[in-house]
Structure 1
Amino acid sequence: MSSDAYDYEALGLIAGLEIHQQLDTETKLFCESPTDLREPEESDRTITRFLHPTKSELGELDDAALEESRVDREFEYLAYDSTCLVEEDDEPPTEVDGEALDVAMQIASLLDMEIVDQLHVMRKLVIDGSNTSGFQRSMLLGQEGEIQTSEGPVSIVDLLLEEESAQRVEEYDGGVRYSLDRLGIPLVEIGTGPDIRSPEQAKEAAKRIGMLLRSTGTVKRGLGTIRQDVNVSIEEGARVEIKGVQALDQIDEIVRLEVGRQSELVDIAEELQARDASVGDTQDVTTVFEDTDSGVIGGALGDGGTVTAVPLYGFDGLVGREIQPDRRLGTELSDHAKRNGAGGIFHTDELPAYGVTDEEVAALRDAVDAGDDDAVAIVAADPETADLAIEAAAERAETAIEGVPEETRDATDEGTTRYLRPLPGAARMYPETDVPPVEPDPSEIDEPELLTEKVDRYQEVFDLDSGLAEQVAYGRRMPLFEEAVDRGIDPTFAASVLESTVTELRRDDVAVENIADAHFLAVFDLVADDELAKEGVNDVLTVLAEQPDLTAEAAIEEAGLGGVDDEEVREIIAGVVERNADQVAEEGMGAFSGLMGECMAELRGKADGDTVSDVLREEIGKRS
């Protein structure tokens, strides 16, 4: 069924958002380390940890943390010359950063939230290695807010101020490598109520929150600095938390595809129940594949591995049923097997294939007493991994009979999702004893101009067209634009350079991120002082991107745009007219357009277009 054909109201769609946004502060939330990201090769030492779950105040273990702990891994952390003992978890945290607290209160105010009287820092158990301590520090700052969408209001339940996790660099045999440069950057987590009733409303709500966040001018920009988690359920399904959605434009598609996945799983469960389906006992079926030509299975057996299997009675044809694009019920089983170290599973809905023959499939069915209406899933790996992985796949098959499991899933680039871990519970939260409570002062909040208001002001005051005004207001260089205008630079020129010209250079693979704000301002000043033609700006910025240590004046010389006076400009233009004397004699001023292009090419940005135009008209007039 096409995702566009779903009746979301009839299905009982309920969705909510969790927006995670890094704050652009000078220092981290609980220490004095800078919030700048580093390259892994800049690391000067490493730290290794093995993390284990701990019980809550009530003596309970969180299910998500418990499952994570079953995967035996070491965690290596890249440290830098700026890394401190707090980040290494070798020293208690300092007090909450005041700048981060001010920005978070400003965001809470923009969301019409009530700020709490006192902030209490909590520890949130996290043992996936993303924090050296095994927990994340978090504090509730605001409650009971609201935003408006075209489909109605969406409540904002809470706003948390917390520390960002370490950045995953890579996985290696037996472990995961993280970088400590990101760990501890202040982060706000904004949670909406379950008020969203359509994919389009989910996207609109996320965009509205994103606009409010960027309006502060104190949030980080770029890939990975903002992440959206989406909670989705339908009436006959279950609440599923989808983690790590980085693109706002992907949210509506993710909601659509999750609705589709849950609908398909509900249908599969109904069919399984009608068939009186069940999951059998796992068993060793290595002997079936002793002489296999399958590269995957043969490779595992050659390394001393085994093949384990589970009969899925009544599952025939359903394990291979598609529940999302390029994802099937068998993919769900495989996700669980992979969480326990296996490469995945094979199942009889897709066999014979991958070197597995008809005869081996028949022998497999016989070995586990599976009939024509049944399916069989197998795992080939080392004995311990094979046992754990097939048990995990069997448990997921059991839940398929019941319906849609509650779980946390990971968003893919295609808008589909894969299993990540069980939903976390309250057992992973407990008080932080090293940081005293904080009493915020909402009276000091200074609400910023909203980006939507900036767009209107740029059109009214600076006479920018609506498209350019929106580009500048929502762009990363908005503060630079306002500084340039304050210096007397023409607003349309400044906006065009910072948006259109920079985009053009980026498409030409120019490293525009190397161009400093001071470089842009210097170039603007040189144009305003008639020391650089507007037509030469592209060339000068290209030089500055390639050689950021140069001054703007030196870049003009490097680009070959310096040292041209008015007389030389006139000589060059006169030469162009002379070369085209016959055309000028025949067409008169009609030759202007073609000769203008030739003059500009000859001058290569050494003269302003208006000046060239005036001189060219004079020279043509002399000869016509």
Structure 2
Amino acid sequence: MSAESDHDPDDDPGHDHDYEELGLVAGLEIHQQLDTETKLFCGCPTDRREPGNSTHRFRRYLHPTRSELGEIDVAALEEASVEREFEYLAFDSTCLVEADDEPPGRIDGEAVEVALEIAALLDMTPIDQAHVMRKLVIDGSNTAGFQRSALVADDGAIETSAGTVEIEDLMLEEESAGRVDETDSGVRYALDRLGIPLVEIGTRPDITSPAQAKEAAERIGMLLRSTGTVKRGLGTIRQDVNVSIAAGARVELKGVQSLDDIDEIVAEEVHRQVELLAIRDALSDRDASVGDPEDVTDVFAETESGVIGGALSGDGRAMAVRLEGFAGLVGREIQPDRRLGTEFADHAKRHGVGGIFHTDELPAYGVTESEVDALRNAVDADEDDAVAMVAAAPEPAAAAIEAVAERARAAITGVPEETRGVQETTSEYLRPLPGAARMYPETDVPPVELDIENVEPPELLTEKVERYESEHGLDAGLAEQVAYGRRMSLFEAAVGQGVDPTLAAQTVESTVTELRRDGVPVEQLDDERFLDAFSLLTAGEVTTEGLPDLLTALAENPELSPTEAAEREGLGSAGSEEVREVVVEVVERNADQVETEGMGAFSGLMGECMGALGGRAEGDTVSELLREEIQKRA
């Protein structure tokens, strides 16, 4: 049951909630890959590779270990309850450290320097000595079964329009392996991403609205990009959001990929918790309870449901649980296309079943009314009760229905604390929140002394925009496009070698975008190729009009030098006499039009002149000569 919104969607995208009254508090965890030469604990490159280019693979099984105090983290324990095989795709650059067949090396010095620079931008205080810790992770994303992480700085702050958001800590970590796909027995990962240096920035729970969450994330993102040493592109930055309301619980939302959605994601989680609390109140009024799981296979012995029949073939079992007082609530919507029953199914799927059935949605899927009645009778369910059921092989069926029962008991209490994975703007259950037992010291990597005295904070992107406007005369839109773009350093290098700033900006942004849309492989153009092309321009060997054609030729023919490409495409600058001859020829060919229209003929003749010159003359030069020739004859 979703409420309709009737107010500013920028403040509350999707639902009409008073966040102050609800007691919303939220905090961010920003994970950003660093663009360093090598990985954090080995000398392997940080370039991404295609899974199809892997040279070999190996498999592992992972199990949780105890902390120094002999405890096992609850999240790791649940991960271990599902037996899975992890397959790793290795490459010609993969080393023994990445395969966990050799101890890690010392922490990368370049990554430490970048982390300290980020700490300075966030007004944080570095700690005296960074100690590497192991963070238990057994979902297969790290071959060692843990992630290495070091606290670098703490006690910082950023400003938002809604007030200060304090930065609690800055961690320097190794990135996890990239998930490629599911296999019949587990998960397949690629090792090219594993070990890339990563900073994790955690705020305090100072955020009190979805809009402020988005603004804070954007501010931190701008500061990170200002360093010029962070990776760009899909998957290189991820945001996790911790959200709670006063009567609810802390929920960690993992894997927010787009800043544009972060406000809606927070709003949807608040709404989910509000709906769960409403369900809790309804269950309390009904004195709800959860029964014990029971085997109801006999109810479906003659079923014509293809889904259930297929699951019961062989030694499959149907397991059900009576949910006393839950009728009508299991099917209640708590997020778009997600219901309380969907939450139950999330927990069941962790144990290898495809999903669950429940009586709020039956009869359906080939299950008949009489089978629903028989199912209710089998577990002694009344009309106010709901029944949840799974059908699968005996072991996963038993584990899955017990997981459903546990989640149903949590619904009676209210909102469970948990980690959830973001799917667009909604989320699904992943695992319990991790505890302190997750972290323990890394004994293979020595501590690192940290010194921020010689760290020079970079110019902020917002400051670059202002400078590009004042110093280079760029309009506000183009200045922002260049400052926040991936070719900002190329723009500055081009201006430094004498290229007109507006031309340089338009080339690295607008021209490149247009060429890409036309199918030109612009990814073949590195900064060096661009600067070589700009050198021909400043030397007068190529015209402004010919520059796009030159870039196209260089992208499509990587083996050619800029000079060779210009010669092959006939892009050399025409001499002044040749330009005048072409202009005169065009004017004489259109003498009648010139005599009749005078300067009114200019536009058409200008295009004809430029076409005849094939981009080998500057437009300003051609325009000046054409005006002279028309005026002579008009």
C-alpha spacing 1:589/1:516, structure 2 compared with 1 (3 Å): same
> Number of residue pairs matched?
623
TM-score (norm 2): 0.95
Residue in 1 that maps onto 2:227: 216
Residue of 245, 250, 253 corresponding to 2:264:
253
Aligned to 2:130: 119
Write the deviation string for residues 282-340 of structure 1: whole angstroms up to 9, x where unpaired. 12222322333333222223354222222212111111111111111111111111111
From 388, 411, 418, the counterpart of 2:422: 411
> What's the offset of the Cα at 1:500?
1.4
Once residues 613 and 337 of structure 2 are traced to their aligned partners in structure 1, the CA distance between those partners, rounded to angstroms, is 56
CA distance in 1, matches of 2:584, 2:331: 76
Aligned counterpart for 1:616 among listed residues 608, 612, 626 = 626
Cα gap change, 1:564/1:363 in structure 2, threshold over 3 Å: closer, same or farther? farther
Higher mean alpha-carbon deviation, 200-209 vs 296-305, is at 296-305
Q: What is the percentage of aligned positions where both structures have the same residue?
A: 70
TM superposition shift of 1:540: 2.6
How far the C-alpha of 1:579 sits from its partner, in A, is 4.9
Partner secondary structure for residue 133 of structure 1: coil
Secondary structure of the 1:526 match is helix
Query: Which residue in 2 is equivalent to 1:188?
Result: 199
Question: What code does the residue aligned with 2:36 have?
Answer: T
Q: Which residue of 2 aligns with 1:240?
A: 251
Task: Tell me, yes or no, if the aligned pair for 2:420 and 2:429 is still in contact at 8 Å.
Answer: yes
Q: Which amino acid aligns with 1:189?
A: E
Which of 605, 611, 629 pairs up with 1:595? 605
Change (3 A) 1:610 1:396: same
Aligned in 2, Cα 1:331/1:579: closer, same or farther, shift over 3 Å? farther
Amino acid across the alignment from 1:443? E
Determine the C-alpha separation between the residues in 2 that align with 1:602 and 1:369.
90
1:131 matches 2:142: yes
**How high is the TM-score relative to the length of structure 1?**
0.96
**What amino acid maps onto 2:553 in structure 1?**
V
Q: Which runs of 5+ in 1 are unaligned?
A: none
Match of 2:530 among 520, 523, 537: 520
2: CA distance between counterparts of 1:539 and 1:348? 66
User: Which shifted more, 319-328 or 229-238?
Assistant: 319-328
Q: Report the 3-state secondary structure (helix = DSSP H, G, I; strand = E; otherwise coil) of the residue aligned with 2:235.
A: coil
Aligned-pair CA distance for 1:142: 0.6
CA deviation vs aligned residue, 1:324-371 (integer Å, no higher than 9, x gap): 111111111111111111111122222222222222222222222222
Name the residue aligned to 2:554.
Answer: 544
Q: 2:541 is matched with which residue?
A: 531
Q: How does 1:69-88 map onto structure 2 within 5 Å? A: 69-88=80-99
Q: Distance in 1 between matches of 2:305 and 2:516?
A: 47
The SS at the match of 1:230 is strand
Tell me, yes or no, if structure 1 residue 29 matches structure 2 residue 40: yes
Whole-angstrom distance in 1 between the partners of 2:163 and 2:481: 27
1:453-532 mapped onto 2 (5 Å cutoff): 453-532=463-542
SS at match of 1:5: coil
Q: CA deviation at 1:506?
A: 2.8
1:64 shift after superposition: 0.5
Looking at structure 1, the residues matched to 469 and 372 of structure 2 have their Cα atoms a distance apart, in angstroms, of 70
Q: 1:210-258 CA distances to partner (integer Å, 9 max, x unpaired)?
A: 1111111111111111111000000011000001111111111111111
Q: 1:155-304, aligned counterparts within 5 Å?
A: 155-302=166-313, 304=315
Pairing partner for 1:427 from 425, 433, 437: 437
Q: Answer whether contact 2:279 2:411 (CA < 8 A) is retained.
A: yes
Quick one: which amino acid aligns to residue 171 of structure 1?
Answer: E
Give, in whole Å, the separation in 2 of the partners of 1:424 and 1:327.
Answer: 25
What's 1:65 paired with?
76
CA distance in 1, matches of 2:208, 2:218: 16
C-alpha deviations, 1:556-575, integer Å up to 9, x for none?
34545357555554455455
1:532 CA drift (Å): 2.0
Deviation at 1:394?
1.6
Q: Deviations over 1:40-84 (max 9, x none)?
A: 122211121110000101111101000111111111111122111
Identify if the C-alpha distance between structure 1 residues 208 and 291 changes in structure 2 by more than 3 Å, giving closer, same or farther: same
1:52 to 2:70 alignment: no
Task: Tell me the residue number matched to 1:385.
Answer: 396
Aligned-partner residue type, residue 590 of structure 1? G
Q: Secondary structure at the match of 1:585?
A: helix
Aligned partner of 2:454 in structure 1 is 444
2:387: which partner in 1? Answer: 376
- SS of 1:499's equivalent in the other structure is helix
Please tell me the residue identity of whatever aligns with 2:37. E
Change in CA separation of 1:547 and 1:294 when aligned onto 2, cut-off 3 Å: farther
Other structure's SS at 1:501 match: helix
- Cα offset for 1:606? 3.4
Cα shift readout 1:524-543 (whole Å, capped 9, x = no counterpart): 12222222222232233233
Contact 2:541 2:573 in 1 (8 A): no
Q: 1:273 to 1:618 in 2, by over 3 A?
A: same
Structure 2: 5+ residue stretches without partners: 5-13
Query: How far apart are the structure 2 equivalents of 1:259 and 1:352?
Result: 32
Q: In structure 2, what is the Cα distance between the partners aligned to 1:372 and 1:598?
A: 84
| Alpha-carbon distance between aligned partners in 2 of 1:608 and 1:360, rounded to the nearest angstrom | 82
Report the secondary structure of 2:366's partner residue. coil
Partner amino acid for 1:107?
Answer: I
Contact persistence 2:106–2:446 (CA under 8 A):
yes
